[in-house]
Amino acid sequence: MCGSRAQGRKPLSPVESTQSTNNLTRYAWLSICAAILTIVLKLSAYWLTNSVGLLSDALESLVNLVTAIVALAALSIAARPADEEFAFGYSKVEFFSSGFEGGMIVVAAGAIGATAIPRLIHPQPLEQVGLGLVISVVASLINLGVSRILAQAGRRYGSITLEADAAHLMTDVWTTAGVIAGVALVAITGWQRLDPLVALAVAANILVTGFRLLRRSARGLMDAPLPSADVETIKSILHPHEAQGITFHAVRTRTAAARGFVSMHVLVPGDWSVRHGHEVAERIEDEIRERLHQVAVFTHVEPLEDSISWQDKLIERE
């Protein structure tokens, strides 16, 4: 094995690592505070209106609170540096957080359905709709602002946990918008069954989001490859070297939330010195890390003319 640098920059010092952890966990704390505030607002709106649609919206915010707490724990663990027990780091724990959030969304969808169906059979009138809707709008604006902040932070730090939390909050925003429209129509038309129908639509909408998060988490836990755009970037880096007579095989990638891993065999002319082969492999690693941040690159140099070098081609992955 020629090289295995974990990042495109020097390892973080303990102080820098702590700062990075704080940068992520502060967003989780922001999500927790926003969830508590919106739960209070939405439950108040439900208490004023007796709308099962607004209750379903409040239940989704309760899921936001639970998952934000889990996200805080996951981000704290993921920020730990690699050690002897976990040599590849702790970043993969974010997939557990994302999967938990997806599971909680599915549970919330079931709870909403169980609440809405009896009201569909036995509809009840709504009360103080105007004030309840104003409170819901305020709660939705809070979620909208926090969602945008988390989405930007997730892209900046490559955190699947923050991205999942942002996606869930954005779903909550659209859910609240639909609930507000439905409850307003109930007040205008007097059709009381529309309220539980809106709640069931909320359940179906968030159910789709939950299954998407579960699928993404499952792929990550099963060592899914890097995104296709990143794989194409790697190919574009290797191509000029192939024109110089160097061959590559067993090129494999995998993702672990914010981190990525690339491994390959580098076949060079057998009359090259060990030093020369090593320098070429290091140069290739540097080129990949310059283009793809937070990626660990592993290379194995072999003589091009030796038949043994080709016997392990069975581990090639397209």
Q: Can you give the residue range of the structural domain that contains 247?
A: 228-315
Note whether 62 and 37 are within 8 A (CB). no
Q: What is the pLDDT of residue 258?
A: 65
What's the CATH code of the domain at 244? 3.30.70.1350
**In this predicted model, which residue has the larger pLDDT, 87 or 180?**
180
The beta-strand segments (E) located in 160-290 are: 247-256, 259-268
- Rounded Cα distance between 292 and 133, Å, is 46
Q: What is the pLDDT of residue 156?
A: 80
**pLDDT, average across residues 233-254:** 88
- Rounded Cα distance between 38 and 139, Å, is 5
Residue 8 lies in a domain: no
**In this predicted model, which residue has the larger pLDDT, 16 or 175?**
175
**In this predicted model, which residue has the larger pLDDT, 238 or 110?**
238
Q: Which of 129, 104, 262 is nearest to 187 (CA)?
A: 129
Q: What is the pLDDT of residue 141?
A: 93
Cα-to-chain-centroid distance, residue 65? 17
Q: Which of 205, 221, 237 is the last residue of a domain?
A: 221
Please compute Rg for the chain using Cα positions. Answer: 25
Q: Which of 206, 221, 236 is the last residue of a domain?
A: 221
Confidence check: pLDDT of 257 > 80: no
Q: How much of the chain, in percent, has pLDDT values that exceed 90?
A: 14
Could you tell me if 163 and 270 lie in one domain?
no
| 3 DSSP assignment | B
Confidence check: pLDDT of 294 > 90: no
What's the CATH code of the domain at 22? 1.20.1510.10
Residue 166 lies in a domain: yes
Q: Residue 227, by phi and psi: left (phi above 0), alpha (psi -120 to 50) or beta?
A: beta
- Rounded Cα distance between 15 and 25, Å, is 15
Q: Which of 181, 201, 221 is the last residue of a domain?
A: 221
Residue 3 lies in a domain: no
Helix (H) or strand (E) segment spanning residue 210: helix 194-221
- Rounded Cα distance between 98 and 74, Å, is 9
- What is the tally of structural domains in the chain? 2
Could you tell me if 138 and 95 lie in one domain?
yes
Could you tell me if 54 and 143 lie in one domain?
yes
Residue 27 lies in a domain: yes
Residue 176 lies in a domain: yes
pTM for the whole structure:
0.58
- Rounded Cα distance between 115 and 166, Å, is 26
Q: How sure is the predictor about 36, in pLDDT bands with cuts at 50, 70 and 90?
A: very high
pLDDT tens track for 103-157:
877 887 887 788 788 878 888 788 888 888 899 899 989 999 999 998 888 878 7
Could you tell me if 232 and 305 lie in one domain?
yes
- Rounded Cα distance between 28 and 16, Å, is 19
Residue 212 lies in a domain: yes
Confidence check: pLDDT of 7 > 70: no
Could you tell me if 184 and 144 lie in one domain?
yes
Q: What is the pLDDT of residue 130?
A: 85
Q: What is the pLDDT of residue 90?
A: 76
Residue 46 lies in a domain: yes
Q: Which of 45, 53, 65 is nearest to 146 (CA)?
A: 65
Residue 2 lies in a domain: no
